[in-house]
Structure 1
Amino acid sequence: MRSLNNIIAISITILLSICIILTNLQFVAFNNDFYQREFEKYKVENTTGMDINQLKKTAVRIQDYLSYKVDNLQTDTVIYEKKTKLFNDRELKHMEDVRILFKKGFFLRNISVAAIFLLILLMYFINKRLLYNLFNSLFTGMLWMLCIVVVGVIIISLNFNMWFTYFHLYFFNNNLWQFDVARDKLIQMLPEGFFSDAVYLAAKNSIITFGFILAILYFVKRKLLKPD
Protein backbone atom coordinates (compact mmCIF):
# COMPACT_ATOMS: atom_id res chain seq x y z
CA MET A 1 0.00 0.00 0.00
CA ARG A 2 2.88 2.37 0.73
CA SER A 3 4.25 1.96 -2.78
CA LEU A 4 0.76 2.61 -4.20
CA ASN A 5 0.53 5.76 -2.11
CA ASN A 6 3.90 6.98 -3.40
CA ILE A 7 3.02 6.27 -7.03
CA ILE A 8 -0.31 8.11 -6.77
CA ALA A 9 1.27 11.01 -4.85
CA ILE A 10 3.94 11.45 -7.52
CA SER A 11 1.34 11.20 -10.28
CA ILE A 12 -0.92 13.82 -8.70
CA THR A 13 2.04 16.11 -8.02
CA ILE A 14 3.04 16.03 -11.69
CA LEU A 15 -0.53 16.38 -12.95
CA LEU A 16 -1.32 19.24 -10.58
CA SER A 17 1.89 21.03 -11.55
CA ILE A 18 0.94 20.72 -15.22
CA CYS A 19 -2.50 22.18 -14.43
CA ILE A 20 -1.03 25.10 -12.52
CA ILE A 21 1.53 26.05 -15.15
CA LEU A 22 -0.75 25.62 -18.17
CA THR A 23 -3.63 27.47 -16.50
CA ASN A 24 -1.42 30.44 -15.67
CA LEU A 25 0.04 30.48 -19.18
CA GLN A 26 -3.51 30.47 -20.54
CA PHE A 27 -4.46 33.34 -18.22
CA VAL A 28 -1.65 35.48 -19.61
CA ALA A 29 -2.23 34.47 -23.24
CA PHE A 30 -5.88 35.53 -23.02
CA ASN A 31 -5.46 38.66 -20.90
CA ASN A 32 -6.33 41.82 -22.82
CA ASP A 33 -4.84 44.09 -20.15
CA PHE A 34 -1.51 42.31 -20.49
CA TYR A 35 -1.49 42.85 -24.26
CA GLN A 36 -2.24 46.55 -23.87
CA ARG A 37 0.53 47.01 -21.28
CA GLU A 38 2.99 45.27 -23.58
CA PHE A 39 1.94 47.34 -26.60
CA GLU A 40 2.61 50.49 -24.61
CA LYS A 41 5.83 49.18 -23.06
CA TYR A 42 7.41 48.26 -26.41
CA LYS A 43 5.91 51.21 -28.33
CA VAL A 44 4.25 48.86 -30.79
CA GLU A 45 2.23 51.69 -32.34
CA ASN A 46 5.44 53.23 -33.65
CA THR A 47 6.85 49.91 -34.83
CA THR A 48 3.75 48.70 -36.69
CA GLY A 49 2.15 51.95 -37.82
CA MET A 50 -1.13 50.80 -36.21
CA ASP A 51 -3.00 52.79 -33.57
CA ILE A 52 -3.74 51.30 -30.15
CA ASN A 53 -7.38 50.52 -30.98
CA GLN A 54 -6.34 48.48 -34.00
CA LEU A 55 -3.72 46.70 -31.92
CA LYS A 56 -6.28 45.81 -29.24
CA LYS A 57 -8.68 44.50 -31.88
CA THR A 58 -5.90 42.38 -33.34
CA ALA A 59 -5.02 41.02 -29.89
CA VAL A 60 -8.65 39.93 -29.46
CA ARG A 61 -8.56 38.37 -32.92
CA ILE A 62 -5.46 36.38 -32.00
CA GLN A 63 -7.08 35.17 -28.78
CA ASP A 64 -10.28 34.18 -30.57
CA TYR A 65 -8.26 32.30 -33.16
CA LEU A 66 -6.21 30.41 -30.58
CA SER A 67 -9.38 29.47 -28.65
CA TYR A 68 -11.13 28.28 -31.84
CA LYS A 69 -13.78 30.99 -31.75
CA VAL A 70 -12.83 32.03 -35.28
CA ASP A 71 -11.22 29.94 -38.00
CA ASN A 72 -9.32 32.63 -39.85
CA LEU A 73 -6.68 34.85 -38.25
CA GLN A 74 -6.36 37.17 -41.23
CA THR A 75 -7.88 40.61 -40.78
CA ASP A 76 -7.90 43.97 -42.55
CA THR A 77 -6.20 46.86 -40.82
CA VAL A 78 -4.89 50.36 -41.50
CA ILE A 79 -1.12 50.76 -41.46
CA TYR A 80 0.23 54.27 -41.93
CA GLU A 81 -3.24 55.31 -43.15
CA LYS A 82 -3.32 52.58 -45.79
CA LYS A 83 -5.80 49.69 -45.62
CA THR A 84 -4.13 46.30 -46.03
CA LYS A 85 -4.14 42.66 -44.97
CA LEU A 86 -2.34 42.38 -41.66
CA PHE A 87 -0.53 39.03 -41.87
CA ASN A 88 1.44 37.35 -44.65
CA ASP A 89 1.29 33.64 -45.53
CA ARG A 90 4.30 32.73 -43.38
CA GLU A 91 2.77 34.32 -40.30
CA LEU A 92 -0.58 32.64 -40.89
CA LYS A 93 1.01 29.21 -41.31
CA HIS A 94 3.03 29.61 -38.13
CA MET A 95 -0.06 30.64 -36.21
CA GLU A 96 -1.77 27.48 -37.44
CA ASP A 97 1.00 25.53 -35.69
CA VAL A 98 0.64 27.69 -32.57
CA ARG A 99 -3.10 27.07 -32.55
CA ILE A 100 -2.57 23.31 -32.62
CA LEU A 101 -0.08 23.64 -29.75
CA PHE A 102 -2.65 25.56 -27.71
CA LYS A 103 -5.26 22.88 -28.43
CA LYS A 104 -2.90 20.20 -27.14
CA GLY A 105 -2.24 22.31 -24.05
CA PHE A 106 -5.97 22.71 -23.33
CA PHE A 107 -6.46 18.95 -23.74
CA LEU A 108 -3.52 18.06 -21.49
CA ARG A 109 -4.70 20.44 -18.77
CA ASN A 110 -8.28 19.12 -18.85
CA ILE A 111 -7.18 15.48 -18.81
CA SER A 112 -4.86 16.22 -15.89
CA VAL A 113 -7.70 17.74 -13.86
CA ALA A 114 -9.92 14.71 -14.47
CA ALA A 115 -7.11 12.30 -13.60
CA ILE A 116 -6.40 14.10 -10.31
CA PHE A 117 -10.01 13.76 -9.12
CA LEU A 118 -10.12 10.11 -10.14
CA LEU A 119 -6.92 9.29 -8.27
CA ILE A 120 -8.09 11.06 -5.09
CA LEU A 121 -11.43 9.24 -5.22
CA LEU A 122 -9.59 5.96 -5.70
CA MET A 123 -7.53 6.52 -2.55
CA TYR A 124 -10.61 7.61 -0.59
CA PHE A 125 -12.52 4.44 -1.37
CA ILE A 126 -9.52 2.20 -0.75
CA ASN A 127 -8.68 3.52 2.70
CA LYS A 128 -9.15 6.87 4.44
CA ARG A 129 -5.82 6.53 6.22
CA LEU A 130 -4.13 6.12 2.87
CA LEU A 131 -5.78 9.37 1.83
CA TYR A 132 -4.14 11.11 4.79
CA ASN A 133 -0.77 9.66 3.77
CA LEU A 134 -1.45 10.78 0.22
CA PHE A 135 -2.01 14.41 1.24
CA ASN A 136 1.10 14.25 3.41
CA SER A 137 3.20 12.98 0.48
CA LEU A 138 1.52 15.43 -1.88
CA PHE A 139 2.52 18.34 0.36
CA THR A 140 6.15 17.27 0.13
CA GLY A 141 5.91 16.72 -3.62
CA MET A 142 4.38 20.13 -4.28
CA LEU A 143 7.04 21.77 -2.14
CA TRP A 144 9.69 20.15 -4.34
CA MET A 145 7.87 21.24 -7.49
CA LEU A 146 7.74 24.81 -6.21
CA CYS A 147 11.51 24.74 -5.75
CA ILE A 148 11.97 23.30 -9.26
CA VAL A 149 9.83 26.05 -10.79
CA VAL A 150 11.77 28.78 -8.95
CA VAL A 151 15.11 27.33 -10.04
CA GLY A 152 13.80 26.90 -13.60
CA VAL A 153 12.74 30.55 -13.78
CA ILE A 154 16.16 31.67 -12.55
CA ILE A 155 17.92 29.51 -15.17
CA ILE A 156 15.68 30.75 -18.01
CA SER A 157 16.16 34.37 -16.95
CA LEU A 158 19.92 34.02 -17.42
CA ASN A 159 19.49 33.57 -21.18
CA PHE A 160 15.86 33.82 -22.24
CA ASN A 161 16.69 34.07 -25.95
CA MET A 162 18.47 30.70 -25.91
CA TRP A 163 15.61 28.90 -24.13
CA PHE A 164 13.07 30.65 -26.35
CA THR A 165 14.91 29.28 -29.38
CA TYR A 166 15.09 25.78 -27.86
CA PHE A 167 11.34 25.92 -27.25
CA HIS A 168 10.64 26.60 -30.91
CA LEU A 169 13.08 23.98 -32.13
CA TYR A 170 11.43 21.35 -29.91
CA PHE A 171 7.77 22.15 -30.51
CA PHE A 172 7.85 23.15 -34.20
CA ASN A 173 9.18 21.00 -37.03
CA ASN A 174 9.73 23.93 -39.40
CA ASN A 175 11.36 27.37 -39.44
CA LEU A 176 8.16 29.37 -39.95
CA TRP A 177 8.68 30.92 -36.51
CA GLN A 178 11.74 32.81 -37.73
CA PHE A 179 10.46 36.26 -38.70
CA ASP A 180 11.91 39.44 -40.14
CA VAL A 181 11.26 42.27 -37.71
CA ALA A 182 11.52 44.81 -40.54
CA ARG A 183 8.69 43.18 -42.49
CA ASP A 184 6.54 40.81 -40.43
CA LYS A 185 3.80 42.42 -38.35
CA LEU A 186 3.44 39.48 -35.97
CA ILE A 187 6.93 39.88 -34.52
CA GLN A 188 6.53 43.66 -34.53
CA MET A 189 3.37 43.33 -32.45
CA LEU A 190 4.71 40.55 -30.25
CA PRO A 191 8.49 41.00 -29.85
CA GLU A 192 10.62 38.65 -27.80
CA GLY A 193 10.19 40.93 -24.79
CA PHE A 194 6.46 40.26 -24.93
CA PHE A 195 7.07 36.54 -24.51
CA SER A 196 9.67 36.93 -21.77
CA ASP A 197 7.25 39.14 -19.84
CA ALA A 198 4.48 36.57 -20.43
CA VAL A 199 6.63 33.71 -19.14
CA TYR A 200 7.72 35.62 -16.03
CA LEU A 201 4.17 36.72 -15.24
CA ALA A 202 2.88 33.16 -15.68
CA ALA A 203 5.75 31.90 -13.51
CA LYS A 204 5.01 34.47 -10.79
CA ASN A 205 1.33 33.52 -10.79
CA SER A 206 2.24 29.83 -10.75
CA ILE A 207 4.51 30.30 -7.73
CA ILE A 208 1.68 32.09 -5.91
CA THR A 209 -0.68 29.25 -6.86
CA PHE A 210 1.77 26.64 -5.60
CA GLY A 211 1.99 28.50 -2.29
CA PHE A 212 -1.81 28.69 -2.01
CA ILE A 213 -2.19 24.96 -2.70
CA LEU A 214 0.55 24.12 -0.20
CA ALA A 215 -1.37 26.10 2.43
CA ILE A 216 -4.56 24.17 1.61
CA LEU A 217 -2.76 20.82 1.73
CA TYR A 218 -1.23 21.69 5.09
CA PHE A 219 -4.63 22.65 6.50
CA VAL A 220 -6.33 19.53 5.11
CA LYS A 221 -3.77 17.05 6.38
CA ARG A 222 -3.54 18.73 9.80
CA LYS A 223 -7.17 19.58 10.48
CA LEU A 224 -9.43 17.44 8.33
CA LEU A 225 -7.60 14.19 7.68
CA LYS A 226 -5.99 13.26 10.97
CA PRO A 227 -5.35 9.51 11.00
CA ASP A 228 -7.61 7.43 13.26
Structure 2
Amino acid sequence: MVLSCGGITLNMKNNNKWIAIISVILGILFPFIIFVTAVEGAVFDKTFFMQQMQANDVVENTGIYPDDMKLVVDEILSFLKGDRADFDIQARLTQKNPKQELAYVSIFNQKEITHMVDVRDLFQFFLALRDIALAAALILFVVLLEQDPAAIIKSLFYGSAIYLGIFIIIGGCFIFNFDASFTLFHKLFFSNNLWLMDPATDRIIWIVPEPFFFNLISRMVIYTLVPLGVTTAMTGTVLYWKRKKNRLYL
Protein backbone atom coordinates (compact mmCIF):
# COMPACT_ATOMS: atom_id res chain seq x y z
CA MET A 1 0.00 0.00 0.00
CA VAL A 2 1.35 3.41 -0.98
CA LEU A 3 0.13 6.54 0.78
CA SER A 4 0.65 10.05 -0.54
CA CYS A 5 0.50 12.94 1.93
CA GLY A 6 1.61 16.48 1.08
CA GLY A 7 3.53 15.26 -1.94
CA ILE A 8 5.41 12.66 0.13
CA THR A 9 4.90 9.04 -0.88
CA LEU A 10 5.09 6.46 1.87
CA ASN A 11 5.46 2.77 1.15
CA MET A 12 3.84 1.25 4.24
CA LYS A 13 5.07 -2.25 3.52
CA ASN A 14 8.68 -1.13 3.64
CA ASN A 15 8.40 1.37 6.44
CA ASN A 16 8.32 -0.24 9.86
CA LYS A 17 8.68 3.18 11.44
CA TRP A 18 5.21 4.27 10.29
CA ILE A 19 3.72 0.94 11.35
CA ALA A 20 5.21 1.47 14.81
CA ILE A 21 3.88 5.05 15.03
CA ILE A 22 0.39 4.01 13.97
CA SER A 23 0.47 1.14 16.48
CA VAL A 24 1.41 3.47 19.32
CA ILE A 25 -1.35 5.93 18.41
CA LEU A 26 -3.93 3.14 18.24
CA GLY A 27 -2.69 1.85 21.60
CA ILE A 28 -3.33 5.30 23.09
CA LEU A 29 -6.70 5.91 21.45
CA PHE A 30 -8.31 2.57 22.29
CA PRO A 31 -8.13 2.86 26.12
CA PHE A 32 -9.18 6.52 25.93
CA ILE A 33 -12.29 5.53 23.97
CA ILE A 34 -13.06 2.80 26.51
CA PHE A 35 -12.65 5.23 29.42
CA VAL A 36 -14.86 8.02 28.08
CA THR A 37 -17.51 5.49 27.05
CA ALA A 38 -17.39 4.02 30.56
CA VAL A 39 -17.88 7.49 32.06
CA GLU A 40 -20.80 8.11 29.72
CA GLY A 41 -22.43 4.80 30.63
CA ALA A 42 -22.06 5.43 34.36
CA VAL A 43 -23.29 9.04 34.28
CA PHE A 44 -26.39 8.36 32.19
CA ASP A 45 -27.52 5.31 34.15
CA LYS A 46 -30.86 6.64 35.38
CA THR A 47 -31.59 3.53 37.46
CA PHE A 48 -28.37 4.04 39.40
CA PHE A 49 -29.15 7.74 39.80
CA MET A 50 -32.58 7.03 41.30
CA GLN A 51 -31.15 4.37 43.60
CA GLN A 52 -28.68 6.90 44.92
CA MET A 53 -31.46 9.45 45.46
CA GLN A 54 -33.17 6.97 47.78
CA ALA A 55 -30.00 5.74 49.47
CA ASN A 56 -28.85 9.28 50.28
CA ASP A 57 -32.26 10.52 51.50
CA VAL A 58 -32.27 13.24 48.85
CA VAL A 59 -35.98 14.01 49.14
CA GLU A 60 -35.71 14.62 52.88
CA ASN A 61 -32.49 16.63 52.60
CA THR A 62 -33.55 18.86 49.71
CA GLY A 63 -37.21 19.34 50.49
CA ILE A 64 -38.11 18.50 46.90
CA TYR A 65 -41.62 17.09 46.58
CA PRO A 66 -41.24 13.26 46.28
CA ASP A 67 -43.28 13.00 43.07
CA ASP A 68 -41.00 15.56 41.39
CA MET A 69 -37.70 13.80 42.15
CA LYS A 70 -37.85 11.67 39.01
CA LEU A 71 -38.53 14.80 36.95
CA VAL A 72 -35.51 16.54 38.47
CA VAL A 73 -33.25 13.58 37.64
CA ASP A 74 -34.60 13.47 34.07
CA GLU A 75 -33.88 17.16 33.60
CA ILE A 76 -30.36 16.91 35.07
CA LEU A 77 -29.46 14.06 32.71
CA SER A 78 -31.11 15.86 29.80
CA PHE A 79 -28.99 18.92 30.51
CA LEU A 80 -25.76 16.92 30.67
CA LYS A 81 -26.64 15.26 27.35
CA GLY A 82 -27.09 18.69 25.79
CA ASP A 83 -30.82 18.17 25.18
CA ARG A 84 -31.81 20.90 27.65
CA ALA A 85 -30.59 24.46 27.10
CA ASP A 86 -30.28 25.59 30.72
CA PHE A 87 -30.01 24.24 34.25
CA ASP A 88 -32.79 26.36 35.71
CA ILE A 89 -34.78 23.29 36.76
CA GLN A 90 -38.07 23.80 38.54
CA ALA A 91 -39.85 21.52 40.99
CA ARG A 92 -42.23 21.71 43.90
CA LEU A 93 -40.93 21.96 47.45
CA THR A 94 -42.72 20.45 50.40
CA GLN A 95 -44.50 22.92 52.64
CA LYS A 96 -44.84 22.86 56.41
CA ASN A 97 -48.49 23.78 56.01
CA PRO A 98 -50.16 20.80 54.27
CA LYS A 99 -53.04 23.03 53.16
CA GLN A 100 -50.74 25.37 51.25
CA GLU A 101 -50.76 24.82 47.51
CA LEU A 102 -47.48 23.55 46.06
CA ALA A 103 -45.93 25.74 43.39
CA TYR A 104 -43.06 25.08 40.98
CA VAL A 105 -39.94 27.08 41.83
CA SER A 106 -36.31 27.14 40.67
CA ILE A 107 -34.45 24.70 42.90
CA PHE A 108 -30.90 25.82 41.98
CA ASN A 109 -29.22 29.18 42.50
CA GLN A 110 -27.06 31.02 39.97
CA LYS A 111 -23.82 29.61 41.38
CA GLU A 112 -25.06 26.05 40.92
CA ILE A 113 -26.37 26.79 37.44
CA THR A 114 -23.07 28.32 36.32
CA HIS A 115 -21.03 25.41 37.70
CA MET A 116 -23.23 22.85 35.99
CA VAL A 117 -22.74 24.67 32.70
CA ASP A 118 -19.00 24.16 33.23
CA VAL A 119 -19.62 20.48 34.01
CA ARG A 120 -21.71 19.97 30.89
CA ASP A 121 -19.20 21.76 28.65
CA LEU A 122 -16.36 19.62 30.01
CA PHE A 123 -18.39 16.45 29.58
CA GLN A 124 -19.48 17.31 26.04
CA PHE A 125 -15.89 18.20 25.13
CA PHE A 126 -14.65 14.75 26.11
CA LEU A 127 -17.55 13.04 24.34
CA ALA A 128 -16.72 14.94 21.14
CA LEU A 129 -13.03 14.08 21.58
CA ARG A 130 -14.01 10.43 22.06
CA ASP A 131 -15.95 10.44 18.79
CA ILE A 132 -12.98 11.93 16.92
CA ALA A 133 -10.68 9.38 18.54
CA LEU A 134 -13.04 6.57 17.53
CA ALA A 135 -13.05 7.68 13.89
CA ALA A 136 -9.25 7.97 13.90
CA ALA A 137 -8.84 4.58 15.61
CA LEU A 138 -11.02 2.87 12.99
CA ILE A 139 -8.91 4.33 10.18
CA LEU A 140 -5.67 3.25 11.86
CA PHE A 141 -7.14 -0.20 12.56
CA VAL A 142 -7.97 -0.67 8.87
CA VAL A 143 -4.48 0.45 7.82
CA LEU A 144 -2.82 -2.00 10.21
CA LEU A 145 -5.24 -4.76 9.29
CA GLU A 146 -4.07 -4.49 5.69
CA GLN A 147 -0.39 -3.90 6.35
CA ASP A 148 0.50 -5.72 9.57
CA PRO A 149 -2.36 -7.45 11.46
CA ALA A 150 0.04 -8.64 14.16
CA ALA A 151 0.74 -5.01 15.05
CA ILE A 152 -2.91 -4.62 16.08
CA ILE A 153 -2.55 -7.31 18.74
CA LYS A 154 0.61 -5.73 20.13
CA SER A 155 -0.94 -2.27 20.05
CA LEU A 156 -4.07 -3.30 21.94
CA PHE A 157 -2.08 -5.38 24.43
CA TYR A 158 0.46 -2.75 25.43
CA GLY A 159 -2.05 0.11 25.30
CA SER A 160 -4.60 -1.73 27.43
CA ALA A 161 -2.01 -3.07 29.87
CA ILE A 162 -0.45 0.34 30.49
CA TYR A 163 -3.78 2.11 30.90
CA LEU A 164 -4.99 -0.74 33.09
CA GLY A 165 -2.17 -0.02 35.51
CA ILE A 166 -2.85 3.72 35.37
CA PHE A 167 -6.55 3.34 36.13
CA ILE A 168 -5.86 0.90 38.95
CA ILE A 169 -3.66 3.57 40.52
CA ILE A 170 -6.29 6.28 39.95
CA GLY A 171 -9.01 4.07 41.39
CA GLY A 172 -6.83 3.33 44.40
CA CYS A 173 -6.27 7.05 44.98
CA PHE A 174 -10.02 7.68 45.09
CA ILE A 175 -10.63 4.70 47.36
CA PHE A 176 -7.92 5.51 49.91
CA ASN A 177 -8.12 9.32 49.81
CA PHE A 178 -11.32 10.35 48.10
CA ASP A 179 -11.41 13.97 49.31
CA ALA A 180 -7.89 14.79 48.11
CA SER A 181 -8.39 13.05 44.76
CA PHE A 182 -11.78 14.70 44.22
CA THR A 183 -10.35 18.12 45.04
CA LEU A 184 -7.36 17.59 42.72
CA PHE A 185 -9.68 16.62 39.88
CA HIS A 186 -11.68 19.82 40.20
CA LYS A 187 -8.58 21.99 40.43
CA LEU A 188 -7.20 20.42 37.27
CA PHE A 189 -10.34 20.70 35.16
CA PHE A 190 -12.11 23.83 36.43
CA SER A 191 -10.74 27.35 36.29
CA ASN A 192 -12.97 28.68 39.09
CA ASN A 193 -14.07 27.69 42.61
CA LEU A 194 -17.78 27.37 41.86
CA TRP A 195 -17.49 23.64 42.57
CA LEU A 196 -17.03 24.45 46.27
CA MET A 197 -20.62 24.10 47.47
CA ASP A 198 -22.28 25.16 50.71
CA PRO A 199 -24.83 22.66 52.11
CA ALA A 200 -26.72 25.57 53.67
CA THR A 201 -27.38 27.32 50.36
CA ASP A 202 -26.62 24.93 47.49
CA ARG A 203 -29.18 22.17 46.96
CA ILE A 204 -27.08 20.33 44.36
CA ILE A 205 -24.69 19.10 47.06
CA TRP A 206 -27.60 17.24 48.66
CA ILE A 207 -28.71 15.75 45.35
CA VAL A 208 -25.22 14.47 44.52
CA PRO A 209 -23.41 14.18 47.88
CA GLU A 210 -20.04 12.53 48.45
CA PRO A 211 -21.43 8.95 48.68
CA PHE A 212 -23.04 9.48 45.26
CA PHE A 213 -19.75 10.54 43.68
CA PHE A 214 -17.84 7.74 45.40
CA ASN A 215 -20.22 5.13 43.97
CA LEU A 216 -20.33 6.84 40.57
CA ILE A 217 -16.54 6.97 40.25
CA SER A 218 -16.30 3.35 41.43
CA ARG A 219 -18.60 2.35 38.58
CA MET A 220 -16.55 4.39 36.10
CA VAL A 221 -13.38 2.62 37.20
CA ILE A 222 -15.00 -0.83 37.02
CA TYR A 223 -16.54 -0.10 33.61
CA THR A 224 -13.06 0.88 32.43
CA LEU A 225 -11.04 -1.89 34.05
CA VAL A 226 -13.23 -4.78 32.87
CA PRO A 227 -12.91 -4.21 29.09
CA LEU A 228 -9.26 -3.21 29.40
CA GLY A 229 -8.59 -6.29 31.52
CA VAL A 230 -10.34 -8.56 29.03
CA THR A 231 -8.47 -6.99 26.12
CA THR A 232 -5.14 -7.34 27.93
CA ALA A 233 -5.82 -10.98 28.75
CA MET A 234 -6.98 -11.92 25.26
CA THR A 235 -4.25 -10.13 23.32
CA GLY A 236 -1.63 -11.23 25.84
CA THR A 237 -2.69 -14.85 25.35
CA VAL A 238 -2.44 -14.50 21.57
CA LEU A 239 1.04 -13.01 21.84
CA TYR A 240 2.14 -15.72 24.26
CA TRP A 241 1.02 -18.59 22.02
CA LYS A 242 2.47 -16.89 18.95
CA ARG A 243 5.88 -16.58 20.59
CA LYS A 244 5.67 -20.15 21.88
CA LYS A 245 4.83 -21.38 18.43
CA ASN A 246 7.77 -19.49 16.92
CA ARG A 247 10.14 -21.10 19.43
CA LEU A 248 8.98 -24.55 18.34
CA TYR A 249 10.16 -23.83 14.81
CA LEU A 250 13.60 -22.57 15.86
Q: Same fold (TM over 0.5)?
A: yes
Larger relative contact order, structure 1 or 2 (CA cutoff 8 Å, min sep 6): 1
Supply the distance in 1 between the matched residues of 2:116 and 2:155 (Cα, whole angstroms).
Answer: 41
Instruction: Say whether 1:80 aligns with 2:101.
Output: no
CA contact (8 A) 1:32 1:56 kept: no
CA contact (8 A) 2:27 2:158 kept: no
Supply the distance in 1 between the matched residues of 2:20 and 2:56 (Cα, whole angstroms).
Answer: 47
Supply the distance in 1 between the matched residues of 2:84 and 2:205 (Cα, whole angstroms).
Answer: 21
CA contact (8 A) 2:199 2:206 kept: yes
- Which residue identity lines up with residue 26 of structure 2 in the other structure? I
Q: % of aligned pairs identical?
A: 27
CA contact (8 A) 2:30 2:137 kept: yes
Q: How far apart are residue 52 of structure 1 and its match? A: 4.0
Supply the distance in 1 between the matched residues of 2:203 and 2:168 (Cα, whole angstroms).
Answer: 33
**What TM-score do the two structures reach when normalised by structure 1?**
0.88
Which structure is higher in helix share? 1
Cα RMSD between the aligned structures? 2.2
What whole-Å deviation, never above 9, does each CA across 1:138-194 have from its counterpart, x for those lacking one?
Answer: 213312221221122112211111111111111111111111112211111111221
Instruction: Say whether 1:175 aligns with 2:193.
Output: yes
Aligned partner of 1:55 among 64, 69, 72: 69
Alignment of 1:127-206 (within 5 A): 127=147, 130-206=148-224
**What TM-score do the two structures reach when normalised by structure 2?**
0.81
What whole-Å deviation, never above 9, does each CA across 1:94-144 have from its counterpart, x for those lacking one?
Answer: 11111111110111110111111111122233x2xx221331342133122
- Which residue identity lines up with residue 89 of structure 2 in the other structure? T
Any unmatched runs of 5+ in structure 2? Answer: 1-14, 96-101
Q: Number of aligned residue pairs: give it.
A: 222
Larger Rg: 2
SS in 2 for 1:182: coil
- Runs of 4+ residues over 4 Å off in structure 1: 218-223
CA contact (8 A) 2:33 2:133 kept: yes
- Which residue identity lines up with residue 154 of structure 1 in the other structure? G
Instruction: Say whether 1:115 aligns with 2:133.
Output: no
CA contact (8 A) 2:26 2:155 kept: no
Q: How far apart are residue 38 of structure 1 and its match? A: 0.9
CA contact (8 A) 1:35 1:56 kept: no
Supply the distance in 1 between the matched residues of 2:44 and 2:155 (Cα, whole angstroms).
Answer: 34
SS in 2 for 1:73: coil
Alignment of 1:17-32 (within 5 A): 17-32=31-46
